[in-house]
Amino acid sequence: MDLRNLSTISVLSDAITVCEYQGLKVLRVSHPQAEAAISLHGGHLICYQPTDEQAVIWLSEKAEFDHQKAIRGGIPVCWPWFGKAAAPSHGFARLSEWHLQEHRENETGVMISLRLEDSDATRTLWPHKFQNLLTFEIGRELRVSLTTTNTDSHHWSYSGALHTYFTVADIRDTLISGMGKHFLDSTQGNIACEGEKELHFSGETDRVYTSPKNPITIHDRRHQRQVQVSNEGHDSAVIWNPWQALSTSMTDMADTSFETMVCVEAAIHEFPVELAPGQSHTLSTQVRVQRN
């Protein structure tokens, strides 16, 4: 996505502009340390590129910008469940309109916070009151934090993920370390497996790593860089690449675009977080690029 193609609605500050892109409202961040874009539909970060660095976050060239759909790429917020535990898949947060709560900036970067609360529409899908604050800290590094508060009068629990899509030069020349050895293999009916310390890619990969370390490192050998992903408030790391056949079957992915992406997701998967009235929990992911 070329951020210059977004049409300006209003200027919020030196670094933040409210724009329109194919009917969606997008906050464009242009700061000496980094460029980024966040769609209010989904609370979805769709671009992040530190200055003098290649794009870090992957966005499908065929992504559909539509209020009814999730955007393919970026950082979808999967909440209050992960996957097909209920409908819609990955929960309703990535399909909801988020609201700007707060923004700040200084010489190191920009902070933007978005808010999503329960409504009649969310309560028909999930009968609980909540408040979600989603905070983006954008600079040389990226940090995304989802703080969930139970605003209801009864306990409830949730799961989910910050489902980050990373750009790589070539998935066949990429390896991942730090995700631990134990995983559930979604391509084989979620059987428990033990893998190697490094993950190489040669086919569809859809794994829930259940004892991940910090950081998980994406070794992008052709870009001659390492992307370090440090997660908090999670219990698992999901690693996903759909490979050729699945990419071809998806209307919002080009046939070969699996070659330039990999998802490393901070997930609450194994142990749903239970919150008493008034309690909060934060799930976060931090992304740092290091040159070889």
Least Å from the CB of residue 251 to ligand G6P: 11
Least Å from the CB of residue 150 to ligand G6P: 26
- Contacts (CB under 6 A) with ligand G6P, residues 185-224: 186, 206
Nearer residue to ligand G6P within complex by CB, 90 or 219: 90
Least Å from the CB of residue 52 to ligand G6P: 30
Q: Is 232 a catalytic residue?
A: no
Least Å from the CB of residue 88 to ligand G6P: 8
- Contacts (CB under 6 A) with ligand G6P, residues 223-252: 238, 240
Question: In Å, how far are 148, 158, 195, 228 from 183, measured between CA atoms?
Answer: 26, 21, 7, 20
- CB contact at 8 A, 261 and 166: yes
Nearer residue to ligand G6P within complex by CB, 94 or 225: 94
Which one of 59, 263, 264, 273 is in contact with ligand G6P (CB under 6 A)? Answer: 263
- Contacts (CB under 6 A) with ligand G6P, residues 49-88: 70, 83
Query: How many residues line the site for ligand G6P (CB under 6 A)?
Result: 9
Q: Is 163 a catalytic residue?
A: yes
φ/ψ of residue 277, rounded to 5: -50, 130
User: Omega of the bond prior to 277 within 30 degrees of 0, cis?
Assistant: no
Least Å from the CB of residue 243 to ligand G6P: 11
Catalytic residue among 163, 223, 234, 269: 163
Nearer residue to ligand G6P within complex by CB, 34 or 267: 267
Name the residue whose CB lies closest to ligand G6P: 240
Using the rule CB under 6 A, is 48 a contact of ligand G6P? no
Which tokens go with 102? 């707060």
Catalytic residue among 35, 137, 259, 265: 265
Fill in the per-residue mask, 87 to 116: x = in contact with ligand G6P (CB under 6 A), - = not in contact: --xx--------------------------
- Just list the catalytic residues: 163, 265
Residues forming the site for ligand G6P (CB under 6 A): 70, 83, 89-90, 186, 206, 238, 240, 263
